[in-house]
Amino acid sequence: MELNFKIEGGNFSGAGSASSEVKKTLKQLGVDASQIKRIVIALYEAEINVVAHAYRGQIGVKISADKIFARIEDEGPGIADISKAMQEGYSTASSKVREMGFGAGMGLPNIKSNVDEFDIQSVVDKGTVLEMTFYLA
């Protein structure tokens, strides 16, 4: 099964609706609750990142019996220094993002701690691609 969502940069009121849909689908499919939690937390942080930093983006989620694969691709400023962005506490978020309860430099570290495989590629002034794999076994 494959799910696809478009994400609008700056739309904080809608942020999280894609992750919420994925959560509902995984629940309907009978995926274990602890697995669902780590998948949707990583996905939600990634979705917030797109809303917070990019102009627009898309999320694709492939669900199979043994694993979930998610690809989050955005058009935006990109990440100049990925190793810095992976450090807890490092953030380039705006005050608007902080008002929403995010932007403390915990997003990417939170994502990494919930996934089994993780890859991030970014080009400055172009965008970022994040791929995450979760094994269900």
Q: Examine residue 82 and tell whether it contacts another protein (CB under 8 A).
A: no
Question: Of the candidates 3, 41, 129, 136, which one interacts with another protein according to CB under 8 A?
Answer: 41
Q: What three-state secondary structure class fits 62?
A: strand
- CB of 85 within 8 A of CB of 56? no
Question: Of the candidates 86, 100, 129, 136, which one interacts with another protein according to CB under 8 A?
Answer: 100
Select from 41-49, 70-78, 116-124, 127-135 the region that touches another protein (CB under 8 A): 41-49
**Per-residue tokens: 90:** 């490092």
**Whose Cβ is closer to another protein: residue 20's or residue 87's?**
20
Rounded CA separation 27/11 (Å): 26
Q: Examine residue 74 and tell whether it contacts another protein (CB under 8 A).
A: no
**DSSP structural state of residue 46:** H
